[in-house]
Amino acid sequence: MENFTFYSPTFFVFGKQTENEAGSYVKQFGGSKVLIHYGGNSAKRSGLLDRVINSLKKENIPYIELGGVKPNPRSGLVYEGIDLCRREKVDFILAVGGGSVIDSSKAIAAGTVYDGDFWDFYSGKLIEKALPVGTVLTISAAGSEGSPDSVITKEEGMFKRGATGNAIRPKFSILNPELTQTLPPFQTAAGITDIMAHLYERYLTNTKDVEVTDRLIEALLLTMKQEGPKAVKDPNNYEARANIMWAGMMAHNNSCGVGRSQDWNSHDIEHELSALYDCAHGAGLAVTMPAVFTYVMNHDVMRFAKVAVRVWGCQMDFDHPENTALEGIEAFRHFLISIGMPKNFDELGAKEEDIPKLVDVLCNGNGRTGSLNGFVKLDEKDCTEIYRMMI
């Protein structure tokens, strides 16, 4: 195991009706003027925004609103939010939504107290200072509610890039599984896929002797395998939603990923797809992961065999472990299809002829220098081959 530090100071409030406590937590964490940041109209229509606003009113905390965050959140709205927060002297940002809203909130929080262009953070600069952020989560997927990360897409060039820093870890996150019950099955399944991707990206490591984190990742994958289909089949299954919601946080706060190298090639390869086609990140991952895993499998056959046996229930082929490894990847692929995820470029809305452009932005855009450096080093030729496997 490698040396590491781990810090997850977010205060989690989990369970039914907990969004009504948002105001008291804003107060507890020092907010005196709040920006409520949210996405489309569903938060308004469902009454969620009203409940959150009422909880602020009860504490006499003034607020302003900024809606309009889209999936794959854009830099334009972030700049708008930063201006607004400075003008209105906002000192706390309350994200009401899913990963996109939280990521946009984190970007605004960091940018408001930064003299330069906030995009610096998405080009590699560590975020060391930010306004405090709280969240009311409405989708189990990104894990942004417990992570130090944010992903934003820059309109100019359609670069989708990440930033990180403990300063943007939410002060509190309110996780009410009821709020996810209104999600349609496709969005639910895309969230499940994203959570499983966060687990696989950590599982694919080159660090030896990491049994504790291997086991924790497998535990969360097994949870998703068992509870995921229940939530897709019956959106009102509170218990399945609750199990998924806690698994989604644990999958990405990094307690199961410490002390080991991680992959993240699948995320990088997918980011170009959702940036260009504006598809759901989870849907893009569903098409990307089986292709990437099949391509890199021989780098460590026993690791793929291990997840196949322990998570997917495959029988170990002791004479030909590669058969077991492949069987596990296929089991994962079929699981994703069974919950309604797309299986290829066509179903995703991606186009074969765009592959050269995808590969170029992926490998050379915005600071990259010709390759991805995760579990396996992938150059332009590798990435081209992987995209071709998704056709």
Q: Which is nearer to a second copy, 152 or 242 (CB)?
A: 242
Q: How many CB atoms neighbour CB 186 within 10 A?
A: 16
Give the binding site for a second copy (CB under 8 A): 1-16, 18, 177, 208-213, 215-216, 218-220, 222-223, 226-227, 239-240, 242-244, 246-247, 250, 255, 258-259
**CA–CA separation, 217 and 256 (whole Å):** 6
Q: How far is the CB of 15 from a second copy (least distance, A)?
A: 3
Q: Which is nearer to a second copy, 212 or 391 (CB)?
A: 212
Q: Which is nearer to a second copy, 90 or 197 (CB)?
A: 197
**CA–CA separation, 52 and 22 (whole Å):** 6
Task: Provide the sign of the torsion angle of the four alpha carbons 17, 23, 28, 31, taken in this order.
Answer: positive
Q: Which is nearer to a second copy, 3 or 369 (CB)?
A: 3
Q: Which of 158, 236, 269, 252 is nearest to 202 (CA)?
A: 252
Q: Which is nearer to a second copy, 227 or 263 (CB)?
A: 227
**CA–CA separation, 52 and 146 (whole Å):** 20
DSSP strand pairing (92-97 vs 371-373):
unpaired
Provide the residue type at 62 as one letter: P
Q: How far is the CB of 239 from a second copy (least distance, A)?
A: 4
Q: How far is the CB of 5 from a second copy (least distance, A)?
A: 5
Q: Which is nearer to a second copy, 226 or 364 (CB)?
A: 226
Q: Which of 153, 142, 137, 260 is nearest to 207 (CA)?
A: 260
DSSP-assigned states of every residue in 175-241? E-GGGGTTS-HHHHHHHHHHHHHHHHHHHS---S--HHHHHHHHHHHHHHHHHHHHHHH-TT-HHHH
Task: Provide the sign of the torsion angle of the four alpha carbons 313, 319, 210, 127, taken in this order.
Answer: negative
Q: How far is the CB of 90 from a second copy (least distance, A)?
A: 24
Q: How far is the CB of 164 from a second copy (least distance, A)?
A: 16
Q: Which of 30, 100, 18 is nearest to 55 (CA)?
A: 18
Q: Which is nearer to a second copy, 74 or 241 (CB)?
A: 241
Q: Which is nearer to a second copy, 29 or 79 (CB)?
A: 29
Q: Could you write out the three-class secondary structure of 317-337?
A: CCCCHHHHHHHHHHHHHHHHH
Q: How far is the CB of 271 from a second copy (least distance, A)?
A: 28
Q: How far is the CB of 215 from a second copy (least distance, A)?
A: 4
C-alpha distance from residue 323 to each of 206, 309, 315, 332 (Å): 21, 11, 10, 14
Q: How far is the CB of 221 from a second copy (least distance, A)?
A: 9
